[in-house]
Amino acid sequence: MSALDRFLHYVSFDTQSAENSETSPSTLKQKVLGEELMKEMEQLGLKNVRMDESGNVFGEIPANTEGIPAVGLVAHMDTSNAVSGKDIKPRILHYEGGPIELSPGIVMDRSAVPELDRVIGEDLIVTDGTTLLGADDKAGIAEILEAAEQILAENRAHGKIGIAICTDEEVGRGTEGFDLKQFGCEYAYTVDGGALGELEYENFNAASAEVTVHGRSVHPGTAKGVMRNAGTIFTKLHSLLPEDKTPERTEGYEGFIHLIHVAGSVQELKAFYILRDHDLGKLEELKQILLDAAAQINSLFDGDEVVSVAIRDNYRNMRECIEPHMHLIRRAEAAFRKNGVEPVTQPIRGGTDGAALSYMGLPCPNLSTGGYQFHGVFEFIPVRALQVMPEMLRDLVYSFTEE
């Protein structure tokens, strides 16, 4: 089975994770795909295939030659809950430019998707415009297992190759329960990036914040001087945040405060933010901006804590963990070039399981999947990426025989 066939099969599974779930994995439906992946790994001939308590799936290709470092390849099975991931309807089309009608009345064009200019002349996998596609990160899974199939068939010299398909990456819990000792690799790569050729070893430092606004509900006919409308109070709070520190107004190394969800009533409202910056000190500044805004609102209510803020750190920039092992980057660059792709090293404006794994002691930079517009209804991936990445991963693994 090709990486393309695998990918089209995997996206038929609804595996969205859930931010505020108290279970592990956050949604049990992720385990349905996990069971399918275990069967496939066993059929391919991988050894020590298993699922841990968090739903993470592992397998390995044992070393056939001594003295070669053990290398891991990591992807994640969950998809973002930003838009629907249920009943995905992928289709392949040949793109020669211009707008793409995904469904009647749903058109994808370069005004919303400027990356279309980069893929003219290619075959693209798109959705019907009502769901995400799931290339983040089911493309990574397909590419890794296709590479594994090739490596097993060729039987060239290699060290141990560990494979891990994690749950809950999208909600910052992708390495929950990950047993590094049992994984048994010296180095690893996540296959969880965007456009073909992307190579990343810097990512955001990340935190999340839950803002609770405690209102006071009374009948609107007798509300004067008594009601505290949580929604109105929240709008005042949000207006105090800097307008130039949002995702739509930042790029490169610039950080942001991003409002992702609001729900509530007059009596109580909850809002969820994510805070990101490549510089840890600047992330602390973003946290303080949010805390100061809450304090300013509370000062209007005679010291009552009308607004409370709970901040949680999620992950850190992996750069300091990778820099002592820059041969990992050089190997990846060489493997891309061997397959006709010029690598582009850039910071991740997000995070991967590789960041957490790096801080756990497993240096783990990130590689492209080939996909674009993750977390949205215009997500797509060129078929070519699903053909090139397995070859690149195979060559990358073999490069560790060349010490």
Would you state the structure tokens that stand for residue 285, as one six-digit string? 């500044």
Please name every residue paired with 200 in a beta bridge, in sequence order, or none if there are none: 366
CA nearest neighbour of 117 among 102, 132, 95, 136: 95
- CA distance linking residue 58 with residue 38, whole number of Å: 8
Would you state the structure tokens that stand for residue 126, as one six-digit string? 């798109």
Place of tokens 């980057």: 329
Three-state DSSP at 190 gives strand
Amino acid at position 73, single letter: L
Would you state the structure tokens that stand for residue 403, as one six-digit string? 């010490």
Place of tokens 């804590």: 305
373 close to 115: Cβ distance less than 8 angstroms: yes
| Helices of type H across 196-251 | 230-239
Burial of 254 (0-12, 13-18, 19+ CB in 10 A): middle
Place of tokens 């099975």: 77
Please name every residue paired with 71 in a beta bridge, in sequence order, or none if there are none: 161, 187
Is the peptide bond preceding residue 242 cis, with omega within 30 degrees of 0? no
26 close to 174: Cβ distance less than 8 angstroms: no
- CA distance linking residue 263 with residue 70, whole number of Å: 47
The residues annotated with a catalytic role in the active site are: 78, 169
- CA distance linking residue 64 with residue 72, whole number of Å: 15
Three-state DSSP at 28 gives coil
